[in-house]
């Protein structure tokens, strides 16, 4: 079964990695700035909607990986279907490529939505920019804000899929940190048509009304997460993500059959090394 899942796919992979990086920052603070964040690999499992707008849920798993090149601030990170990199040798700024595997929609549980034409899997590519600030004086905290713009490298939609986001991490003990985050996405009309539109052919097959959405704001989201240190190298985390479909997409007959409020949650484990 294929699913059009939220950007984080399984929330835990991204949340665990972000919190892990912050919780280890103070431990490495006395080293050079190039080595504040250790390398990391992890796995998250969780539950998320079958497709964007669905009222049905599915289980899945997603990897997490962060690798920082020796004597450099350049890095590569991979969370679920998303891979990005930093081409700048800067401890605070990231500019680089981003790629996302965008799941399609087919063989879904809803017997009406299943009559619509399938949406193929595709790969998106674009540019991501972010700013990271680690406060190491007094009670440490970590802030990251960013934006990305991507387009379809396949043939599912035209135009752009862009987003703004921010997250904030702070400790509640020497072994645990809490994170909160928020963000929003803006897309082209072609994107909304591919995932939320109903063509004349789809209307005849499903009985749903024809729907041709425009572009603009398509969702906003927020999440909390908790990461706990188990051993010097091993960490566990859990998080919950709330997404609200907005704009023209929220008026889609596909969403109205499901739910504009989308929940994802999961837990993960990670291993860190220098």
Residue 60 and residue 45 in contact, taking contact as beta carbons nearer than 8 Å: yes
Taking the CA of residue 120 as centre, how many other CA atoms within 13 Å lie in the half-sphere pointing to its CB?
Answer: 9
Which of 44-48, 95-99, 134-138 reaches the highest mean pLDDT?
Answer: 95-99
Whole-number pLDDT of residue 44 = 82
Instruction: Pick the more confident residue, 240 or 87.
Output: 87
User: How far are the Cα atoms of 56, 95, 205 from residue 48, in angstroms, in the given order?
Assistant: 9, 29, 27
In this prediction, what percent of the chain has a pLDDT beyond 90?
Answer: 52
Whole-number pLDDT of residue 103 = 84
CA distance 22 to 26: 8
Taking the CA of residue 125 as centre, how many other CA atoms within 13 Å lie in the half-sphere pointing to its CB?
Answer: 5
The mean per-residue pLDDT over the stretch 36-56 comes to: 83
CA distance 212 to 195: 11
Residue 152 has pLDDT above 70, yes or no: yes
Whole-number pLDDT of residue 118 = 95
Of the candidate CATH numbers 2.40.160.40, 2.40.30.70, 2.40.50.140, 3.40.605.10, the domain formed by 11-273 belongs to 2.40.160.40
pLDDT in tens, 156-200: 999 999 999 998 988 888 888 888 989 999 999 999 999 999 999
pLDDT in tens, 203-235: 999 999 999 999 999 999 998 888 888 988 888
176: left (phi over 0), alpha (psi -120 to 50) or beta: beta
In this prediction, what percent of the chain has a pLDDT beyond 70?
Answer: 86
How far apart, in Å, do the first and last CA atoms of the chain sit?
38
User: What is the pLDDT confidence band of residue 95, given thresholds at 50, 70 and 90?
Assistant: very high
Mean pLDDT, the chain, rounded, equals: 85
* Adjacent-strand bridge partners of 60: 46
pLDDT in tens, 115-141: 999 999 999 999 999 999 988 888 888
Q: What is the chain's length?
A: 274
The mean per-residue pLDDT over the stretch 74-82 comes to: 88
User: What is the pLDDT confidence band of residue 27, given thresholds at 50, 70 and 90?
Assistant: very low
Whole-number pLDDT of residue 37 = 54
* Structural domain spans, the chain: 11-273
Whole-number pLDDT of residue 30 = 38
Least confident interval from 29-38, 153-162, 197-206, 262-271: 29-38
Q: Where are the alpha helices (DSSP H) in the chain?
A: 11-25, 189-196, 200-206, 247-250, 253-257
Chain mean position to CA 26:
26
**Among positive and negative, which fits the CA dihedral 103, 105, 106, 109?**
positive
Whole-number pLDDT of residue 38 = 67
The pTM of the full predicted model, rounded to 2 decimals, is 0.87
Least confident interval from 38-42, 232-236, 252-256: 38-42
| Assigned token pair, 153 | 């490298």
* DSSP letter assigned to residue 53: T
CA distance 47 to 90: 36
User: What is the pLDDT confidence band of residue 36, given thresholds at 50, 70 and 90?
Assistant: very low
């Amino acid at each position: 079964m294929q699913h059009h899942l939220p950007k984080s796919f399984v929330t835990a992979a991204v949340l665990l990695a972000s919190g892990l990086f912050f919780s280890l920052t103070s431990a490495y603070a006395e080293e050079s700035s190039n080595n504040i964040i250790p390398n990391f690999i992890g796995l998250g499992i969780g539950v998320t909607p079958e497709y964007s707008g669905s009222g049905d849920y599915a289980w899945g798993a997603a990897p997490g990986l962060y690798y920082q090149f020796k004597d450099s601030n350049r890095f590569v990170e991979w969370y679920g279907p998303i891979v990005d990199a930093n081409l700048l040798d800067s401890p605070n700024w990231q500019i680089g490529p981003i790629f996302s595997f965008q799941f399609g929609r087919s063989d879904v549980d809803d017997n009406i939505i299943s009559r619509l034409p399938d949406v193929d899997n595709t790969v998106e590519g674009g540019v991501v920019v972010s700013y990271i600030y680690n406060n190491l004086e007094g009670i440490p905290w970590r802030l990251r804000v960013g934006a990305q713009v991507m387009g379809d490298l396949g043939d599912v939609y035209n135009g752009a899929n862009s987003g703004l986001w921010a997250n904030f991490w702070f400790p509640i003990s020497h072994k645990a940190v809490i994170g909160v985050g928020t963000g929003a996405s803006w897309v082209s009309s072609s994107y909304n048509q591919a995932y939320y539109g109903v063509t004349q052919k789809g209307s005849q097959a499903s009985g749903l009304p024809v729907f041709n959405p425009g572009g603009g704001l398509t969702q906003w989201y927020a999440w909390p997460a908790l990461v706990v240190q188990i051993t010097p190298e091993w960490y566990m985390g859990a998080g919950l993500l709330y997404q609200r479909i907005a704009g023209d997409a929220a008026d889609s007959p596909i969403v109205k059959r499901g739910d504009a409020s989308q929940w994802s949650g999961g837990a993960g484990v990670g291993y860190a090394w220098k």
